[in-house]
Structure 1
Amino acid sequence: MALATFGVVVLDCPDPRALAGFYAAVLGGTVEADPEDSAWVDLKVPAGPALAFQRAPGHQPPTWPAPDGSQQFHLDLTVADLDAAEKGVLELGARPLDTQDRARTFRVYADPAGHPFCLCAC
């Protein structure tokens, strides 16, 4: 018997509304935020677990790759067309981290707050 159920993946960031907007544009879904509280924003994703974004003053994104450090976590996002998805995430403000090997079935990016994520061919 499990002790808990999965709730949400939470990303620390400097601007929760902006980062929720980035992932809503990438994944779809509904951004839900309390107008009185700008420190926490939820993204209800149509297929998959919800994401939440929490204001973290002084947030320092991980360095990728970092032989002496950790990327902390990353999201794998499944896409039908790597090239089209890449174009879209770059237009939304992502930056490439590891995209040189075009023969691979994945490419690595950083979101606007610096969190690594992969686009993975399905």
Structure 2
Amino acid sequence: MSTPEGTASTIGWDCVALDCADPAGVATFYAELLGGSVKADPDGDWFDVVWDGPRIATQLAPDHTSPDWPRGQQQAHLDFTVADIATAHERVLQLGGSALDPVDPPRPKPERGFRVYADPAGHPFCLCRPTKDAWD
């Protein structure tokens, strides 16, 4: 992370880091979902998802316990926009993710503007409509 010259006390964005027992697998999930690639740390315990958006990283946490949303604390989640929810829903499932809320396949013109999923390590994320009229 770098800061502009003369602003040493300025805090800037670096990444969202997700703890998981299989950081390579979770990074691959997000890279494939987002059309990016994975860059591995030489030690093999940190992976960056390289794509057109903000940096997402995964790090090894051998004793990681997945969030238990909606029964327990969510901890944190990622939001992604998507115009074609049905195609994105199928892609999440094909890549090893799971639908959390709702779990049924998307129907035309849903009332709610987001759906909740989990990556293979159990981290929740949402697929959100980019505009109110999307997902017709």
Same fold (TM over 0.5): yes
Structure 1: give runs of 5+ residues left out of the alignment.
none
Question: Equivalent residue for 1:98?
Answer: 101
Q: Deviations over 1:61-87 (max 9, x none)?
A: 111112xx4200000110011111001
Following the alignment from structure 1 to structure 2, what is the Cα–Cα distance between the partners of residues 110 and 43?
A: 17
Q: Deviations over 1:47-72 (max 9, x none)?
A: x2111100001100111112xx4200
Following the alignment from structure 1 to structure 2, what is the Cα–Cα distance between the partners of residues 89 and 9?
A: 19
Question: Equivalent residue for 1:38?
Answer: 44
1:105 Cα offset (Å)? 1.4
Question: Equivalent residue for 1:60?
Answer: 65
Question: Equivalent residue for 2:13?
Answer: 6
Partners of 2:38 and 2:47 within 8 A in 1: yes
Following the alignment from structure 1 to structure 2, what is the Cα–Cα distance between the partners of residues 86 and 30?
A: 20
Following the alignment from structure 2 to structure 1, what is the Cα–Cα distance between the partners of residues 36 and 111?
A: 30
Structure 2: give runs of 5+ residues left out of the alignment.
1-6, 131-136
Tell whether 2:81 aligns with 1:78.
yes
Question: Equivalent residue for 1:116?
Answer: 124
Count residues with an aligned counterpart.
118
Following the alignment from structure 1 to structure 2, what is the Cα–Cα distance between the partners of residues 49 and 10?
A: 11
Following the alignment from structure 2 to structure 1, what is the Cα–Cα distance between the partners of residues 129 and 85?
A: 6
1:103 Cα offset (Å)? 2.7
Partners of 2:28 and 2:37 within 8 A in 1: no
Following the alignment from structure 1 to structure 2, what is the Cα–Cα distance between the partners of residues 53 and 104?
A: 30
Higher alpha-carbon Rg: 2
1:30 Cα offset (Å)? 2.3
Question: Equivalent residue for 2:36?
Answer: 29
Runs of 4+ that moved beyond 4 A: none
AA paired with 1:92? L
1:108 Cα offset (Å)? 0.5
Following the alignment from structure 2 to structure 1, what is the Cα–Cα distance between the partners of residues 69 and 37?
A: 29
